Amino acid sequence: MLNQAFMLVYFFAVLFFATNAGLFFSWIDRKLTARLQWRVGPPLYQPWADFLKLLHKEQIIPVGAYGAAFVLAPFISFASVLLVALILPVGGIPPPFGFVGDLIVVLYLLAIPGIAAMIGGSASANPYGSVGASREMVLLLSYELPLIAALFTAVVKTGSLQLAEILNYQLQNGALALSASGFVALCASLLAIQAKLSFAPFDIPDAKTEIVAGPYTEYSGPLLALFKLAHATLLFVCSWLVATVFLGGLVVDFSSAFSLVQSLAVDAAKLLAPLLFFSVFKAINPRAKIDQALKWFWLYLTAFALIGLALAFVRW
């Protein structure tokens, strides 16, 4: 009974924390990009304002759209991202939703936002939506393999498919990114996640100067707000995943007030490091074409990630 109550509290805590942290992360991303581009950038409350504004706007479901799929897609996207946030462990708090093999489930769940975009785009009865959906599919097929190879490097290093175990291993042996194979895998996963977030140079599915907004072209009002929220949360969750698997994980140390503050500061730094990479890499690159991205992922990044995996087998 107590356990169930804890799970319920944990669920709502994560729901509240992950979404707000996601919006905050999207603000950091926007502000940082703006500063890099000689612009002022939005104020801190902007992502919340955008979200609330969209909630109040008219909801339009296009004539000819497949309504059920069109409406469900943003919910699927948001739910899958939220589930990942529930599974990801924090050291010092017993993980209520962790289980053996949860890394594989996380991998599957992280593919769902892309699939949801495909569903929504295809269901929207819009040519830009369908072009966006087909691009999303090609991109998903390109970056999944290097991402899986990179995350499995961690599995080989730590000998566990459970995220909490990977975290514990790093608590005892130091962050995986400090080893050769771990570093290669970190780089590969950062680049693959860049595509998962559809940040430049891989902002191909929703390339605004080519196909309006790709799968999201027909979305408006609350459904668009939900897609945006899912995307912002995904930004946070992906940073969290990278921090957990490669940077030694997040730890909350309750032993004293000082250690609590210290551990939280270190956690924040670990979460911000991947975000910094995503933002800066986005700012310094133009958009690739889908065929170029496919080739680049399959030829170079996959080979790179496999080298990391091979290094892990020889215990580097």
Partner 1 sequence: MFVEGERIVDVKIRIGYNHRGIEYLSQRRTIHQIPMLVERICGICSHTHPLCYCQAVEEAMGVEPPDRARYIRTIIAELERIHSHLLWAGVALHLIGYDSLFMYFWRYREPICMLFELLTGNRQSYAVNCVGGVRRDIDVPRHRDRVMRTLKEVGDGVRRLEGMLLEDPLVKARLVGVGVLTRDDARRYCVVGPTARGSGIPIDVRVCEPYAAYAEVGVDIKVFSEGDVMAKTLVRVQEVVESIEIVERALDAMPGGPLRAELPEPPVSEGIGKTEAPRGENIHYVRLNGTVVPERHKVRAPTYANIPSLVPQLLGETIADAPIVIGSIDPCLSCTDRLSVVDAETGKPLGITYEKLVHMSRKKSRRVLRSA
Nearer to partner 1, 265 or 291 (CB): 291
Provide the minimum distance between the beta carbon of 274 and partner 1 in the complex, in angstroms, as a whole number: 20
Kindly state the tokens that stand for 311: 């290094």
Nearer to partner 1, 38 or 258 (CB): 38
Provide the minimum distance between the beta carbon of 78 and partner 1 in the complex, in angstroms, as a whole number: 26
Provide the minimum distance between the beta carbon of 278 and partner 1 in the complex, in angstroms, as a whole number: 14
Nearer to partner 1, 131 or 250 (CB): 131
Nearer to partner 1, 147 or 290 (CB): 290
Q: Which residues bind partner 1 (CB under 8 A)?
A: 33, 36-39, 126-127, 131, 134-135, 200-201, 203-204, 207, 209-211, 283-292
Provide the minimum distance between the beta carbon of 117 and partner 1 in the complex, in angstroms, as a whole number: 17
Nearer to partner 1, 193 or 211 (CB): 211
Nearer to partner 1, 53 or 295 (CB): 295
Provide the minimum distance between the beta carbon of 212 and partner 1 in the complex, in angstroms, as a whole number: 10
Provide the minimum distance between the beta carbon of 133 and partner 1 in the complex, in angstroms, as a whole number: 12
Provide the minimum distance between the beta carbon of 283 and partner 1 in the complex, in angstroms, as a whole number: 5
How far apart are alpha carbons 12 and 215 in whole angstroms?
30
Nearer to partner 1, 120 or 182 (CB): 120
Q: Residue 233, exposed/middle/buried by CB under 10 A (0-12, 13-18, 19+)?
A: buried
